[in-house]
Amino acid sequence: MVIVLGLLLAILQLQPAYAVSSLTIETTSGPVTGLINGTTPNVAQFLGIPYAEPPVRERRWLPSILKSREDHIDATRFGQNCPQFEGNASNIWNTDAPEFNIPGNPKGENCLFANVWAPWNSNNTEKLPVIAWIYGGGFQSGGGDVEYQIPSRWIERSQKHIVVGINYRVNIFGFPNAAGLNGSNQNLGLLDQRLGMEWVRSNIANFGGDPARITLWGQSSGAMSVDYFNFAYPEDPIVSGLIITSGSALLPLGFDTIADHSNFTYVANHFSCNSSTPQIEIDCLRNVSSSAIISFLKDRADAGTPSLAFNPVVDNRTKFANFTARALAGNYTKKPAIIGTNVNEGEGFLPYNRIYGPDITAAHAFTLSAFLCPIVKSTSNRYATGVPTFRYLYGGNFSNIAPQWWEGAYHAAQLPLVFGTHGIVRGASTPFETQVSMKMQDYWLAFAEDPVAGLPALGWEKYSPDGDAVLIGREGVVTQPIAESRLEDSCDGENPKPGASPPP
């Protein structure tokens, strides 16, 4: 018996430790050297790792390609964010809580970076689950260094998972819909996301991550991206689970056809790139600086004229016109998913009045039509094909996140709770806010660890029409059941019922 125990102890001592124990890690892009800071001393951060060749000059408006190997990469600071502009309109995110969607770093076209956060020198002896994060921003903005979306505090607390953020191209640089491009290469931002996920799969084991347990999470247009990914890659999904928050493939945004290239041509004409030949048009505009193009788009938006929209188009490669038909045919990844929305999604999208808030009827209609009802339909489609879905409704209302009395659980308000950044501005968090944050973090982690059994072990059961979803953070209760029927009563499929109000 003593010999057996001794052998067992020797075997255990030989097992590898999968926590990061070196700040220099080998990757396909080359060796990267990260950092540790004083705020989260138990988290190794590897920032600004290039996963793709810079999409500049002749590579502007072409699909991204994997980064060639460098001798060494300094991964101690965030890389550039992709070209974008901040409008001058007052709204919740620009006026009350800019920590949500305004990246801090400079913008530039050399922007296709991954950021990795992993436990530092912890006692983990197995490869850790990975959450890959796709930021939102309406496909117009967003980046890896948005304050509320930096996960180091979350990992400092858990020491049980890794988070990877993926930068991707937005607006005209990510979704040009240009006549001079191949029809299947219009959604460049979505192709960036895919290449980023391939980079994660190839490299995450060296950071202590488990390539077999990669959860893809996005919010708003990031959630739409995750669901697009869900339908685009059923044969090679990379992921073990999906977290789709406040958005889905059924959210009505973008264009159903690539035939109308007028927005791109309008920009080209402004810079005297007017040509009857689509290839000459796009080659000419490639010689115009990205800052000049962004400045023109900003000036036009700020002037109050109809903005020029550059969003994903139906290309039947990364975005499809028939998501429900594809879902019911089982033509998607069939991976388990967390899906949910917020109580007050629509409040932030309407004319802004800090004193009185928006027209509540219009806000309710926006919540239902853009968010809740599309997710109701997505959930129904998944249930019809027997795929586990865990549905929630977030109702937290915290004054350091929602400083105006009417804002409530508005669009994106749940993100600081999950990332653990809820107390970084506008006063310390309340004990209840911290409890809600920890519960949401535990839910996300349990799902990443085991997308099928992790949440039921915490009392959150998968969707069934006669079952319960989870209501989070509502009126002083951390979590409570809410009947799935209450989430669905306001909807007729993906469309709101006339005069309906959102739950609860």
What residue ranges define each of the domains in the chain, with the CATH number in brackets? 24-496 (3.40.50.1820)
In this prediction, residues 122-138 reach a mean pLDDT of 91
Query: C-alpha distances in angstroms, 118 versus 280, 393, 485?
Result: 46, 29, 39
- Answer yes or no: are the C-beta atoms of 433 and 420 closer than 8 Å: no
* Residues 370-423: tens digit of each pLDDT: 999 999 999 999 999 999 999 999 999 999 999 999 999 999 999 999 999 999
- Residue 10's pLDDT band, with cuts at 50, 70 and 90, is very low
CB proximity list for 60: less than 8 A, separation 6 or greater: 109, 173, 286, 290
| Distance of alpha carbon 427 from alpha carbon 325, whole angstroms | 48
What is the pLDDT at residue 305? 75
- Residue 431's pLDDT band, with cuts at 50, 70 and 90, is very high
Q: Lowest mean pLDDT: which of 275-279, 280-284, 338-342, 359-363? A: 275-279
| Distance of alpha carbon 190 from alpha carbon 230, whole angstroms | 12
In this prediction, residues 70-75 reach a mean pLDDT of 98
Among 140, 144, 146, CA closest to 87: 140
Among 45, 66, 329, 58, CA closest to 162: 45
> What is the pTM for the complete model shown?
0.94
What is the pLDDT at residue 254? 62
What is the pLDDT at residue 14? 37
In this prediction, residues 202-220 reach a mean pLDDT of 98
- Answer yes or no: are the C-beta atoms of 149 and 222 closer than 8 Å: no
What is the pLDDT at residue 303? 86
Amino acid, res. 360: I
SS3 185: helix
Neighbours of 474 (CB within 10 A): 19
* Residues 334-358: tens digit of each pLDDT: 999 999 999 999 999 999 888 999 9
- Answer yes or no: are the C-beta atoms of 449 and 213 closer than 8 Å: yes
Average pLDDT over the chain, rounded to whole?
A: 93
> What positions carry a catalytic annotation?
220, 345, 411
* Residues 54-72: tens digit of each pLDDT: 999 999 999 999 999 999 9
